[in-house]
Structure 1
Amino acid sequence: MKYSIPLLLLCTSTLNGCMVGPDFQHPDVVTQTHYNTDADLLNGDQRLAIGQQIQAQWWTLFASKSLNDVIQQALQNNHDLAAAKETVAQANEFVQAERGGLLPQVAMTGTVGRQKYGAALFGPADFSIPPFTYYELGPEISWSPDLAGGKKRGIERQQAMAEYQLHQLDAAYVSLTAQVVQQTLAIATAQSEIAITQQLINEDEKNLKLVQTALQGGVATQVDVLTAQSQLDADRATLPALKQKQSIAQHALAILVGSAPADWTPPNFSLNDFHLPQQLPLSLPSELVRQRPDILSAEANLHAASATIGVATANLYPQVNLTGNILQEALTPSGLLKSVNSAWALAAGLTAPMYQGGRLTAEKHAAEHGYQAALAQYKQTILQSFAQVADSLQALQHDHEEFEAQQQAVNTAHSFLQLSRKSYQAGSTGVLPVEDATRQAYRTQLGLVRSQGQRLADTAQLFTALGGSPVQQSHDTPDQSR
């Protein structure tokens, strides 16, 4: 019998490396080679570099120092990003906590008690022990060998959840940088719209004065004056909405950099400060699934679901519990810590599920269904990512077409304005046709500015749809080797 405990420890240590349940395999569900039916080709002044990886700091392709500075402020001070980092650290600590369950657990125990034995304890003997107080002190060790690998599957599941949180941090990083770019472009576009609208209002004011002068000279009517006044009022009415749009973008940008709107003023962004990238890196679909944070998060969630099956399967197997203690037992506190009062105990227990009302089997089946649900979500996430890239590519193509049409409209409007001015100087027309031509020229200029801002915004959206970066942003990854 003296060899039974060491032999049991040896056997359980040998079996401790087994793990039931499925071993996770990275799903291979991507068969596409391009995103659109037109093989992802763009027409115009932007070209796709198919298969080229997007650089980590993709926003630098816009060549705006002010944008780069604001993004650095956001990365340093944004509270959502800080929360995501702490969540990753928390998940890594949970991994360490799960690993601790593989090791023997040692605790120091102390007991003080008052006890009285009944007379029947000693049989027919005519004596009894009076009530007494006892004291116990000593370490206790317990260990449950991981025979079926349930604990290791639990560690695997927690590691997968830590990886999930890591990819969520990457997603927060990409989302933050994308939002900063979008808000800066919104500010720059609104600023240009306000400037052009103000110029248009100035022209309307000049026109009104000219018509009023013409009315005094008898060459214009009151209808002409009201028409000019109406145009001025209508254009003035558009200015508050543009200023509000600019203010909203400025306030949103302040929040992104971790400041209250009253405490932070953004740079004076202008569309001319942004360079439209001419060469656009386009990852292949097979590469996209390895770099988009939302896809990687879905895969980590799938991995966790797989490990959950292993945990539920291990619960169907017997479990061994080993315990031991070394105690000092005495009837007075002063009697503790004396060798004569030393006591010890070793015990091994086996627990095997016999009847649980179907609970353990149902839990295993539930884990299997959970895996299938996570797999479906993973596939859906991939499809959605492909659609986002396809949408961005189509948007850039349509943006180019719109920009060319707006540029043509600007050229036509300016040519018409020049002809109207020549006709007016020759005395062939009045001042109102000239002012109408002027208004049309400014309005086409507004359309061109909006088209220019949309091209920049959709280019940024493509970079975001591609995952923002081919690798995880300089974060500590959970150690999978320990």
Structure 2
Amino acid sequence: MKPNAFVLNRHLFPAKVGAVSAVLFLAACAVGPDYKAPSASLSQHYDQQAEQRLGVAGNPPGEQHIDLGKKLNGDWWSAFHSPKLDQLVRRAIDGNLELVAADATLRQAASSVAAAEGALYPQVGFGAQAGRQRVHVAADPSVANFYTVGPQVDFDLDAFGGNKRRVEQQEAFADLQKHRYEAAYLTLTGDVASQALLLASANAQMEAVEKLLANDARNLELVRMAHLNGSTTQIDVSLAETRLAQDRTLLPPLAQQRDSARHALSILAGKGPADWIAPDFALAEFVLPANVPVSLPSEMAHDRPDILQAEADLHMASAAVGVATANLYPHVSLSASLAQAASGNGGAALWGFAAGLAGPIFDGGTLRAERQAAVDGYKASFAGYQQTVIKSFGQVADTLQAINHDAQENQAQQDALGAAETSLRLNQQAYAQGENSILQVLEAERAYEQALLGQIRVKTAQYLDTVRLFVALGGNSVGVLEQKVASR
């Protein structure tokens, strides 16, 4: 008696379902750790003394202060209210070659992700072969032509998720490249603003030094005339000559600072110094931001590209552990082929289907050692991430204290300038009344010019430290790539 086909199918159906379910389960499995982003920092302060000193409540009116817990909106360099700086930064962003290289590297990483994802799908190929052969099996040996042609499909079930972890690793690498672009953007904008301020500072200091030299020259001329009249000695003449010669040494370094800043701006804009000259700047064109937003440490960790780079590197290390873990387990693959074959005057269609299983039995401990190396690499990346976060907090704390000390130095310099200005006014009045000599007036003028030169340097330090603070806080650079793509 023949078995009933329905009864056979009914008994085979659970087995088929179980087999298919097992394959789907294995295909969805991915061994190794699932990545979790590090928890945010619990710290709420960078430097409490500096924060208190620069806070709205603790800072004297008219001085720079910070708003702790407030995030920066828009382009950070616009806080200096310089249209010329805005135009220069935009030109540098469009022409900077490091940004071009970073963008190309990011596209390369995106292509690597797509290449890794290809392993998750069936690999379909095509093969063909033709030749001539001699057959000895027949009673009469014969020579005949033969050929085979047809497609072949191979599919790695990725039972333990090794390919998925490789895709995850490449995606993390693409994130790393994206944040490198953001870091290059942040560095570029910070360098452009700093060099523009150094150029403006050099121009202002050179103007003050030239006035100082003109005063020294007048002083020397008066001393020489007094010496001819017998009212002064040769020592006084020598002192006046020495002062003029010493003050002349101030100009070349300032001229070098000016020229270096111009050259740097050309290079940042992607041009040679002889091919494009940056516009000139004056300190009066900039406005020192009175209110600087400072995000909390827990928020700043998501606003700095270098921290996000370290996090992407940590993600890559986590995925590497998954890849190394998957290598400890068997690989399951399926393959199928369909070919049209012919030999002599006969031909036939050939097909095949096969499943393969390959796994390690003894490898001398290589695979386990590789997994342990990946685990240790993750630990190293995690420590590196933590160190990056801590260093970033230190950089913000340093710049906050620098701004705090700049304010103190600026106040002292203002007092010195005020005293020099008062001394000059009194000496001018005394000279008008015949109570002192012109030399005393010139000395007072010289002291005033030197105080003015010191004030320019302090003001420059305030501007530069404010730039460093914006950069240390991340400068709103995270997400600029998406904004660039959206604007196209």
Q: Same fold (TM over 0.5)?
A: yes
Taking only the aligned residue pairs, the percentage that are identical comes to 40
Task: Give the superposition deviation at 1:11.
Answer: 4.1
SS in 2 for 1:218: coil
Residue number among 93, 96, 115 corresponding to 1:97 in the alignment: 115
1:229 partner amino acid: E
Task: Give the superposition deviation at 1:115.
Answer: 5.0
Using the TM superposition, name which of 24-33 and 363-372 deviates more: 24-33
The correspondence of residues 58-97 of structure 1 with structure 2, limited to 5 A, is: 58-97=76-115
Structure 1 contact 56–468 (Cα < 8 Å) conserved: no
Are 1:186 and 2:198 counterparts? Answer: yes
The correspondence of residues 339-378 of structure 1 with structure 2, limited to 5 A, is: 340-378=347-385
Structure 1 contact 164–296 (Cα < 8 Å) conserved: yes
Task: Give the superposition deviation at 1:427.
Answer: 4.2
Q: Distance in 2 between matches of 1:430 and 1:227?
A: 17
2:259 partner amino acid: S
Residue number among 388, 391, 414 corresponding to 1:381 in the alignment: 388
Task: Give the superposition deviation at 1:50.
Answer: 1.4
Structure 1 contact 151–311 (Cα < 8 Å) conserved: yes
Structure 1 contact 29–379 (Cα < 8 Å) conserved: no
1:84 partner amino acid: A
Structure 1 contact 288–466 (Cα < 8 Å) conserved: yes
Cα RMSD after superposing both structures: 2.5
What is residue 109 of structure 1 aligned with on the other side? 127
What is residue 227 of structure 1 aligned with on the other side? 239
SS in 2 for 1:207: helix
2:89 partner amino acid: I
What is residue 458 of structure 2 aligned with on the other side? 451
Q: Distance in 2 between matches of 1:134 and 1:234?
A: 97
What is residue 13 of structure 1 aligned with on the other side? 24
Are 1:136 and 2:154 counterparts? Answer: no
Residue number among 210, 215, 240 corresponding to 1:203 in the alignment: 215
What is residue 49 of structure 2 aligned with on the other side? 38
SS in 2 for 1:380: helix
The correspondence of residues 392-407 of structure 1 with structure 2, limited to 5 A, is: 392-407=399-414
Using the TM superposition, name which of 386-395 and 17-26 deviates more: 17-26
What is residue 287 of structure 2 aligned with on the other side? 275
What is residue 462 of structure 1 aligned with on the other side? 469
Q: Distance in 2 between matches of 1:417 and 1:345?
A: 103
Structure 1 contact 320–348 (Cα < 8 Å) conserved: yes
Q: Distance in 1 between matches of 2:462 and 2:153?
A: 67
Task: Give the superposition deviation at 1:470.
Answer: 7.2
Are 1:48 and 2:66 counterparts? Answer: yes
Q: 1:141 to 1:246 in 2, by over 3 A?
A: same
Q: Distance in 1 between matches of 2:484 and 2:342?
A: 52
SS in 2 for 1:321: strand
Structure 1 contact 53–470 (Cα < 8 Å) conserved: no
Residue number among 419, 428, 440 corresponding to 1:433 in the alignment: 440
> What's the CA shift string for 1:167-191, capped at 9, x where partnerless?
1111111111111110001001111
Residue number among 38, 42, 49 corresponding to 1:27 in the alignment: 38
Structure 2 contact 40–301 (Cα < 8 Å) conserved: no
Q: Distance in 2 between matches of 1:291 and 1:130?
A: 78
Q: Distance in 2 between matches of 1:440 and 1:298?
A: 52
Structure 1 contact 166–477 (Cα < 8 Å) conserved: no
Structure 1 contact 95–155 (Cα < 8 Å) conserved: yes
SS in 1 for 2:48: coil
> What's the CA shift string for 1:41-75, capped at 9, x where partnerless?
21341221111111230110100001000000011
Q: Distance in 2 between matches of 1:130 and 1:354?
A: 47
Task: Give the superposition deviation at 1:398.
Answer: 0.2
Structure 2 contact 314–385 (Cα < 8 Å) conserved: yes
Q: Distance in 1 between matches of 2:484 and 2:222?
A: 71
The correspondence of residues 277-356 of structure 1 with structure 2, limited to 5 A, is: 277-331=289-343, 340-356=347-363
Q: 1:435 to 1:8 in 2, by over 3 A?
A: same
Q: 1:97 to 1:477 in 2, by over 3 A?
A: farther
Name stretches of at least 5 consecutive residues in structure 1 with no aligned partner.
Answer: none
Structure 2 contact 148–342 (Cα < 8 Å) conserved: yes
Structure 2 contact 128–150 (Cα < 8 Å) conserved: yes
Task: Give the superposition deviation at 1:418.
Answer: 2.3
SS in 2 for 1:275: coil
Residue number among 139, 142, 157 corresponding to 2:169 in the alignment: 157
Q: 1:114 to 1:380 in 2, by over 3 A?
A: farther
Structure 2 contact 162–326 (Cα < 8 Å) conserved: yes
> What's the CA shift string for 1:205-255, capped at 9, x where partnerless?
222222222233332333322222222221112111110011111101111
Structure 1 contact 33–285 (Cα < 8 Å) conserved: yes
2:73 partner amino acid: Q
Structure 2 contact 420–451 (Cα < 8 Å) conserved: yes
SS in 1 for 2:355: strand
1:31 partner amino acid: L
Q: Distance in 2 between matches of 1:165 and 1:196?
A: 46
Residue number among 393, 405, 418 corresponding to 1:411 in the alignment: 418
The correspondence of residues 223-262 of structure 1 with structure 2, limited to 5 A, is: 223-262=235-274
SS in 2 for 1:109: strand
SS in 1 for 2:51: coil
Task: Give the superposition deviation at 1:416.
Answer: 1.7
What is residue 5 of structure 2 aligned with on the other side? none
2:146 partner amino acid: Y
2:29 partner amino acid: C
Name stretches of at least 5 consecutive residues in structure 2 with no aligned partner.
Answer: 1-8
Q: Distance in 2 between matches of 1:99 and 1:287?
A: 33
Q: Distance in 1 between matches of 2:477 and 2:293?
A: 11
What is residue 6 of structure 2 aligned with on the other side? none
> What's the CA shift string for 1:106-151, capped at 9, x where partnerless?
111122345567x7xx6xxx95855655322211111110111111
SS in 2 for 1:262: coil
Q: Distance in 2 between matches of 1:192 and 1:273?
A: 12
SS in 1 for 2:120: coil
Q: Distance in 1 between matches of 2:205 and 2:50?
A: 36
Q: 1:254 to 1:162 in 2, by over 3 A?
A: same
Using the TM superposition, name which of 50-59 and 466-475 deviates more: 466-475
Q: 1:395 to 1:128 in 2, by over 3 A?
A: farther
Task: Give the superposition deviation at 1:270.
Answer: 0.7
